[in-house]
Amino acid sequence: MDAYFTDLLIAEDEALKAAVADSDAAGMPQIAVAPNQGKLLHLLALTQGATRILEIGTLGGYSTIWLGRALPAGGRLVSLEYSPEHADVARANLARAGLDENVEVRVGPALDSLAALESEAAAPFDFSFIDADKANNPHYVEWALKLSRPGSLIVVDNVVRDGSVLDATSEDPAVVGTRRMFELVSTHPRLTATAVQTVGARGYDGLLLARVTG
Ligand code: SAH
Ligand code: DHB
Ligand code: MG
């Protein structure tokens, strides 16, 4: 079904195809969002009217390109990536997509980059996509919230992980982090949220969507 949707609905151009090919050639794990998921992020950011986008977890910049293409002229996307090697590949992929003016990849542990972003006191982000080390998911949601405004949208990837997130006894840091993130979101007075399971080219997983309230 993902191939069917993608053939019919998702016009992946050369820049997107080359971003995947060059990420693979660099030996990166094949964990970028699927094309139809990338287009979903793009449509959500467009619907949001986002002019400022935050991404946590760049990899080779595949999701970054989809999100960057939702920006209006003069819009800005900041994508945070731990690995300098990943960031180099991503920057080349973003430049080929013509997005180097609008997109900045910042290297380092995202928690450090987020603190730096706060100290810069820039305008809030309209849209955040959290897709890095899952153990830090609760911290990333707190930071995304801190850097948001009422009406901002926060999306978290990989919140199902083959259903392993249901296991309250799990010691897998990704599961523990994602479950803590759900607890935080479910009790937070400034977030209203839902989560959906997905199945397809990236297996059985899911997305959480949270809107920042007043
Ligand atoms: N969003 C990308 C996929 C990201 S994969 C896409 O869909 O195309 C997760 C990325 O998070 C990897 O590149 C990994 O290096 C990065 N990462 C892991 N831990 C991190 C951390 N502490 N800070 C920032 N990035 C981190
Ligand atoms: C993993 C990370 C991702 O962001 C993803 O989409 C799929 C898998 C992982 O670390 O296993
Ligand atoms: Mg992911």
Confidence tier at 214 by pLDDT (50, 70, 90): confident
Average pLDDT in the 185-213 region? 97
Ligand having the closest approach to the CA of 133:
1
Tens digit of each residue's pLDDT (9 = 90 or more) over 69-97? 999 999 999 999 999 999 999 999 999 99
Q: With cut-offs at 50, 70 and 90, classify the pLDDT of residue 202.
A: very high
pLDDT digits (tens, 9 = 90+) for 89-129: 999 999 999 999 999 999 999 999 999 999 998 899 999 99
Q: What CATH number does the domain containing 141 carry?
A: 3.40.50.150
Ligand 1 pocket, residue 77 CB under 6 Å = no
Q: Cα dist. 155→29, 85, 119, 195, 213 in Å?
A: 21, 25, 23, 9, 15
Residue 198 has pLDDT above 90, yes or no: yes
pLDDT > 90? residue 169: yes
What confidence category does residue 176 fall into, taking pLDDT thresholds of 50, 70 and 90? very high
User: What is the 132 CA–ligand 3 centroid distance (Å)?
Assistant: 7
What is the total residue count of the chain?
214
148-167 confidence digits (pLDDT tens): 999 999 999 999 999 999 99
Total domains, the chain = 1
Closest ligand to C-alpha of residue 63 is 1
3-state class of 153 per DSSP? strand
- What is the residue-wise DSSP string for 53-69? EEEE--TTSHHHHHHHT
Q: What is the mean pLDDT of residues 43-63?
A: 98
pLDDT given for residue 121 in this prediction: 86
**DSSP characters over 3-31:** HHHHHHH----HHHHHHHHHHHHTT--S-
Q: Whose CA is nearest to atom 6 of ligand 2?
A: 31
- pTM tops 0.85, yes or no: yes
The whole domain housing 76 covers 2-212
* Contact 81 CB / ligand 1 (< 6 Å): yes
Give the residue whose CA is nearest to atom 19 of ligand 1: 133
Euclidean distance between the first and the last CA atom of the chain, given in angstroms as a whole number: 39
CA of 185 to the centre of ligand 1 (A): 21
Q: Which residue owns the Cα nearest ligand 2 atom 1?
A: 31
The pLDDT score that the predictor gives to residue 82 is 98
What is the edge-to-edge ordering of all strands in the sheet holding 52-56? 103-107, 76-81, 52-56, 125-130, 148-157, 203-212, 191-200
pLDDT of residue 154: 98
Residues 15-27 pLDDT 10s: 999 999 999 999 9
Return mean pLDDT, the chain. 97
Ligand 2 contacts CB of residue 31 (under 6 A): yes
